[in-house]
Amino acid sequence: MLSNDKLGAERENFLLPLPVSYLNAFEAITRDPNQELTIVEQEQEIVATFQLTFIPYLTYQGSTRAQIEAVRVKSDYRGQGLGTEIFQYAIQRSKDKGAHLLQLTTDKKRPEAKKFYESLGFVDSHEGMKLYL
């Protein structure tokens, strides 16, 4: 699913066997108690996935923020409410872990994703910047 769109197809590599970098990342994520990988199955088929990261930090009186990333819904399952269910779960899970906010980034090349996130109550509150290394 990571390569199931134009951006993912340009940056991901799913030749078999998978590059060891994917396996190393998976192992590091599963060992970190502040990381959660979630898959959604329907009829024994993986149809969606996302990653939640819980970030403790000093501002907001030493609070925790949650970040959702790598949200993917298999293309033939989109438009059926699954994305909304994923975010409802992620919001509740973030509250359960004591996070005071749930944040995300969305690529400017995906305007439809931004509209979806806004429909869920997310607001465009900051200007994000990246430095690729």
Taking only the tens place, the pLDDT of each residue in 79-133 is 999 999 999 999 999 999 999 999 999 989 889 999 999 999 999 999 888 898 9
pLDDT band of 6, cuts 50, 70, 90: low
* Tens digits of residue pLDDT in 41-57: 999 999 999 999 999 99
- Is residue 4 domain-resident? no
Cβ count near 56 (within 10 Å): 11
**Assigned domain for 65 exists:** yes
Asked whether residue 96 is domain-assigned, the answer is: yes
Query: Is residue 133 included in any domain, yes or no?
Result: no
Asked if residue 70 belongs to a domain, the reply is: yes
Q: Which residues contact 14 (CB under 8 A, 6 or more apart)?
A: 2, 3
Q: Provide the CB-side half-sphere exposure for 59 (13 A, CA).
A: 2
Q: Do the beta carbons of residue 76 and residue 45 sit within 8 Å?
A: no
Residue range of the domain that includes 64: 34-119
Round to whole Å and give the CA distance between 126 and 129: 10
In a domain, 127, yes or no: no
User: Do the domain assignments include residue 97?
Assistant: yes
CATH number of the domain bearing residue 97: 3.40.630.30
C-alpha distance across the termini of the chain, in Å:
25
Q: Give the chain's domain count.
A: 1
Asked, for residue 28, whether it belongs to a domain, the answer is: no
